[in-house]
Amino acid sequence: MPAPRRRGLHRQLYAQVLLAILAGGLIGHFAPDVGVALKPLGDGFIRLVKMVIAPVIFFTIVTGIAGMKDIGALGSVAAKAFGYFFFFSTVALIIGLVVANVVQPGTGMNVDPVSLKGAEVGTYVKAAEEQSLVGFLLSIIPETVTGAFAQGNLLQVLFFSIFFGIAIVGAGKPAEPVVAILEAAGHAFFQLVTLFMKAAPIGAFGAFAFTIGKYGLSSISNLAALVATFYLTSAFFIVVVLGLVCRASGFSIFTLIRYLKAELLLVLGTSSSEAALPSLMEKMELAGCAKPIVGVVVPTGYSFNLDGTNIYMTLAALFIAQAMNIHLPLEEQLLLLGVAMLSSKGAAGVTGAGFITLAATLSIVPSVPVAGLALILGIDRFMSECRALTNFMGNAVATIVVSRWENGIDEERFATVLQQGDFRVPDEPLVPPIESDPD
């Protein structure tokens, strides 16, 4: 396999994004008005990426399914992926609950519930009240094909793409020209992703400048215990829990982090894991994971495998109760855990998803006033970065693990790419097709 082409540090995307984050933080701190004014740079970049997410998912899934020799393997991938998601999402919720009981970050604040103003959280509470299990399940089915793409609803695009791919397989030889066109279009869209990623430092610069300029580092001082506890708990989950999963699968979590460093810095700078979704799919395929597995696991993981959000929900809920001196017995904590397991599903793609799902959870657990969300509203932006990073890493690990379970990974390529980093030879396609072995 050809040796990777080395580039100067100044040309590395991760170095550019890191410098942009530092510069944005300095401007936001010393010139907050300027930092706030730079918000459109971050918003513009995220909109660029979101514009191509739906087509990338569509082309990846349809061409991947069309290339599968055994269509029954698709059901196997989905079953194993959802089994993985459910187990580790539950582990994340339990870890958040245990840490909150042990550390008790809210103890001693002695907040009077009457003093809290609920108006600030009204938008999130209203959005939470509009969520229901039946409504969520029905929302997966798009009203129109074009509507799914126009709204950028990942689950609707995933739903249509899977069935369209199955239909192409059923059509057989007459559909081969369609597959050829879709494969060519898919390569073009991934090239478009590469083009947009050149603007990542600008987006990270504007987004981080806005965050620091708008909220300031001083906004986290009074709630430093919660922020520190959440970050340390998330780090524990990534390094220990996901680290053990990676070790059992034959690779190191730190090697994976190094391979995805540019995407992780982008998520940190923009506070959005969606900003790195197309790039994650590209890198997973580049590392040897089969296209249909990547196409199914990554998009569904962005809705059902939200480890960071789950840790945040139970940890933040108990923090609010502790801050207001509300004792939650074991049975109510278990109720909180059960509700969180349901309300956390399908949260991705909703603005303020972590906060909305927390509001939905508290609205069903009467002992903790929903108005208590006002306690953490000011620092939620800082916690959203950690949520996004943890969610991103959880889905990267899930993709590799499910690929291994399905024998859908090129082991030699995987080992080489993770050790040497992102590489491409001049005549190599941006996303080389990797066919899974149905046996």
- Domain contains 253: yes
pTM of this structure:
0.79
CATH number at residue 391: 1.10.3860.10
Q: What is the largest CA-CA distance in the chain?
A: 70
Number of domains in the chain: 1
Compute the C-alpha angle 285/157/128, nearest 5°. 115
- Domain contains 3: no
69 vs 54 pLDDT, higher one: 54
Total count of residues recorded for the chain = 439
Q: What percent of the chain has pLDDT over 70?
A: 82
Q: What are phi and psi of 289, to 5 degrees?
A: -75, 140
The confidence score (pLDDT) of residue 275 equals: 82
Residue 433: band (very low, low, confident or very high) from pLDDT cuts 50, 70, 90: very low
- Domain contains 2: no
Tell me the one-letter amino acid at 402. Answer: V
Cα dihedral 384, 303, 52, 123, rounded to 10, equals -50
The confidence score (pLDDT) of residue 350 equals: 47
Residue 146: band (very low, low, confident or very high) from pLDDT cuts 50, 70, 90: confident
Q: What percent of the chain has pLDDT over 90?
A: 27
Q: End-to-end CA distance of the chain, in Å?
A: 26
- Domain contains 431: no
Residue 437: band (very low, low, confident or very high) from pLDDT cuts 50, 70, 90: very low
Tally of CB atoms within 10 A around 244: 11
Across 18-50, b (16+ Cβ under 10 Å) vs e yields bebbeebbebbeeebeebbebbebbeebbebbb
The confidence score (pLDDT) of residue 288 equals: 92
Mean pLDDT, residues 260-285 taken together: 88
- Domain contains 429: no
Burial label for 100, CB within 10 Å (0-12, 13-18, 19+), is: buried
- Domain contains 434: no
Range of the domain at 63: 9-420
Q: What are phi and psi of 119, to 5 degrees?
A: -60, -35
Mean pLDDT, residues 46-74 taken together: 81
Question: Would the pLDDT of 293 be above 80?
Answer: yes
Residue 252: band (very low, low, confident or very high) from pLDDT cuts 50, 70, 90: very high
Contacts of 234 (CB under 8 A, 6+ apart): 308, 311, 386, 387, 389, 390
3-state secondary structure string across the chain: CCCCCCCCHHHCHHHHHHHHHHHHHHHHHHCHHHHHHCHHHHHHHHHHHHHHHHHHHHHHHHHHHHCCCCCHHHHHHHHHHHHHHHHHHHHHHHHHHHHHHHHCCCCCCCCCHHHCCHHHHHHHHHHHHCCCHHHHHHHCCCCCHHHHHHHCCHHHHHHHHHHHHHHHHHHCHHHHHHHHHHHHHHHHHHHHHHHHHCCHHHHHHHHHHHHHHHHCHHHHCCCHHHHHHHHHHHHHHHHHHHHHHHHHCCCCHHHHHHHCHHHHHHHHHHCCHHHHHHHHHHHHHHCCECHHHHHHHHHHHHHHCCHHHHHHHHHHHHHHHHHCCCCCCHHHHHHHHHHHHHHCCCCCCCCCHHHHHHHHHHHHCCCCCHHHHHHCHHHHHHHHHHHHHHHHHHHHHHHHHHHHHCCCECHHHHHHHHHHCCCCCCCCCCCCCCCCCCC
Q: How far apart are CA 244 and CA 349, in angstroms?
A: 29
- Domain contains 1: no
Asked if 320 contacts 362 with a C-beta cutoff of 8 angstroms, the reply is yes
Sign of the dihedral defined by the CA atoms of residues 133, 87, 65, 194, in that order: positive
- Domain contains 173: yes
Q: How far apart are CA 26 and CA 36, in angstroms?
A: 12
